Structure formats: structure tokens, C-alpha cells
Amino acid sequence: MSIELTRRDEFAVITLNRPKALNALSFAIIESLGDALDEIASSDARALIITGAGDKAFCAGADIKELRNRDLMAQKRGAELGQATFAKLDRLPMASVAAINGYAFGGGLELAMACSFRLAVPTAKMGQPEIKLGLVPGYGGTQRLPRLIGEARALEIIMTGRTVDAAEAERIGLVNRLIEGDPIEAAIAFAREFSTFSLPALGFARDAVTRALDAPIHEGLKIEADLSTLAFQTSDAAEGMAAFEEKRTPVFRDA
Ligand code: DAK
């Protein structure tokens, strides 16, 4: 099994489990990842954590050996499969956290960037080195990297293929935080900072931010007005505001 789907308390955990090849993404692994994401979508997990097996790599990218000698249409289908699989993360009802426990290159960084949040160990190294192979990122890197860190920095990283260390990644906003200790435990501690809040409210907030990123600001503001109004229709909103007035901790029921 090259993907492990497990449960840690209220969290789903996907571990890319191919450490001998630094957890490189074969097409079979991408398909298994898609199946795992479908399963998580209908589960009651409060958040998803994705990490890599071993202490060396989160994921060293697409399986370079498998990418060779495929015809044009097979490559196009491959890019579409990777993009569609990673896009499933956006549609999950819960947030996702990439616990980057080592190398995250090419498709590995693209997977991490498709998650809601990225945490990295201080020794992690990241990059889009496809250009060094005569290639261009194909699983969302040219789109998600500039959205996260801006056009100029993204172009530099994609066109030079250079490696970004964890400290720089944090400084430029490619990762949210650096983590110490066990990466899964650290990701769980991070997820607990939001996971007790109302799932509908968390979902509306994620949607307002991510959907509006693709829209002009006047449309983004309309999306925000609609979703923030919708939040008032939940009983969790009534509970949250009542608890404030009654000076007690709210009990959210995801309704
Ligand atoms: N693919 C396959 N095997 C890989 C791999 C990868 N991406 N990365 C590492 N491995 C394998 C190595 O071949 C080696 O296997 P053996 O030789 O022992 O059998 C084993 O993992 C250990 O690797 P190293 O011996 O190289 O370990 P080091 O610590 O010395 O170096 C490294 C670690 C991460 C610096 C190095 O392994 C490395 O540079 N790896 C490649 C990183 C990379 O270039 N990633 C980006 C790949 S391209 C598409 C369009 C584009 C793409 C995909 C699809 N379509 C249109 C369909 C592009 C996607 C990419 O991600």
C-alpha cells in the first residue's frame, strides 16, 4: 500500500508511503489518493492531515521514471488526473494540513499547496525543479504558487528550479509555520486551533476566501456577503452569540 489512510482522534491522516522512492507520486498513488479523499469527504473527520512516510521526504514529486516515453495524450491525461485529484482538497468539507516532514519537490509541493495549510520541519526543502528536467509543473504549481507568494517570487522559483529552505518558505508565506517534534502531532495541535469551531462556519470562511481569489473584488465581496449572511442561518451562529452574552463557552453542533 503506497497510501495509508488512518484516523488520529477526530482527524483523518493520509501518509504517502513509498519512502524508498522518497514518496514519489506514481499515477497509481495519485489514483489511491483520490479514492482516499472521496472517503474522507463523507467521513466525520474534523480536518485532514497529509504527510510522508520516513524522516526524509514529504514527497519528491511525480515519479520521474514513470513519466518518460508516454505519448502526448497520455501526458495530458496525466496532468488532468493530478490536477483533478489535488482539486478534491478544495471541495472537502474540512480543512487540510500538509505536514511537510522533509523534501517537497515538484508534484509534492503542488500537493502541499493544494492543502488549506502547510507546516514544515526546519530541515524541509521545497521547490518546483521541473525546469531542470526540461519540464513545467503540471499539477497546479504554476497557478497555486503565485497565488500563495506572488508572481515575481513564483516565477523565480519555477524558472530557476532552485530549492527553498524551510526558513525562507515561512518568510515568504509558502508555509504557515515551522514545527518541532513529531510532524503529525504538531499538525494535530495546529488543527485543534480551529477544529472545534462550527464546521459550516469554517466551510463558509474557506469558501469565501478561496472562491473569491478567482474573482474580481466586487464579485468576491458579493460571495462574502452571501456566505456571511448564510452563516447567520445556522444554529451554531445563534449558539455562538448567545454564549458570548451568557459569558460561557459555546457548544457548536455543526448545524
Ligand atoms: N521520482 C522517482 N524516483 C525518485 C524521485 C522522483 N521524483 N525522487 C527520488 N527518487 C528515488 C531515487 O531515484 C532513488 O531511488 P534509487 O536510485 O535508490 O532506486 C531514491 O528515490 C532516493 O533518492 P536519492 O538517492 O536521489 O536521494 P538524495 O537524498 O540523494 O536526493 C533529492 C534527494 C530529493 C534531492 C533527489 O532525489 C531529487 O532531486 N529527486 C527528484 C526531485 C524532482 O526533480 N522532483 C520533481 C519531479 S517532476 C506532468 C507534467 C509535469 C510533471 C508531472 C506530470 N504531466 C503533463 C503529466 C512534473 C512533476 C514533477 O514532480
Residue 75 reports pLDDT greater than 90: yes
| pLDDT over 70 percentage in the chain | 100
| Enclosing domain of residue 217 | 199-245
Pairing of strands 103-105, 125-127: parallel
Supply 179's cell numbers: 514545527
Instruction: Evaluate whether residue 252 is within a structural domain.
Output: no
Measuring from each residue's beta carbon to the nearest atom of ligand 1, which residues come in under 6 Å?
21-22, 24, 60-65, 67, 75, 78-79, 103, 105-107, 129-130, 133, 135, 138
| For residue 138, pLDDT beyond 80 | yes
pLDDT above 90: residue 1: no
64 Cα: distance to centroid of ligand 1 (angstroms): 6
- How confident is the model over 26-44, as a mean pLDDT? 98
133 and 26 fall within a common domain: yes
- CA nearest neighbour of 177 among 222, 118, 137, 236: 118
The count of domains in the chain is 2
Query: Has residue 234 got a pLDDT over 80?
Result: yes
Starting at the edge strand found earlier in the chain, the sheet holding 125-127 runs 57-59, 103-105, 125-127, 164-165
pLDDT over 90 for what percent of the chain? 98
Catalytic residues: 110, 130
pLDDT the model gives residue 21: 98
The whole-number average pLDDT for the span 187-196 is 98
Checking if the pLDDT of 215 tops 80, the result is yes
Are 204 and 90 within one domain? no
Distance in Å, CA 65 to ligand 1 centroid:
8
Is 9 inside any structural domain? yes
Minimum CA distance residue for ligand 1 atom 20? 21
Is residue 11 classed exposed, middle or buried when 0-12, 13-18 and 19+ CB atoms within 10 A define those classes?
buried
Q: Residue 146 domain-assigned?
A: yes
Closest atom of ligand 1 to CA, residue 74: 57
Q: What is the mean pLDDT of residues 95-102?
A: 98
Model confidence band, residue 55 (pLDDT cutoffs 50, 70, 90):
very high
Residue 250 lies in a domain: no
Q: What is the mean pLDDT of residues 102-114?
A: 98
- 92, pLDDT greater than 80: yes
Domain assignment present for 216: yes
> Do 186 and 230 belong together in one domain?
no
**Same domain for 17 and 120?**
yes
CB contact set of 176 (below 8 Å; sequence gap of 6+) = 117, 118, 119, 170, 190
**For ligand 1, what atom is nearest to the CA of residue 110?**
61
Cα(218) to centroid of ligand 1, in Å?
A: 43
Does residue 214 carry a pLDDT above 90? Answer: no
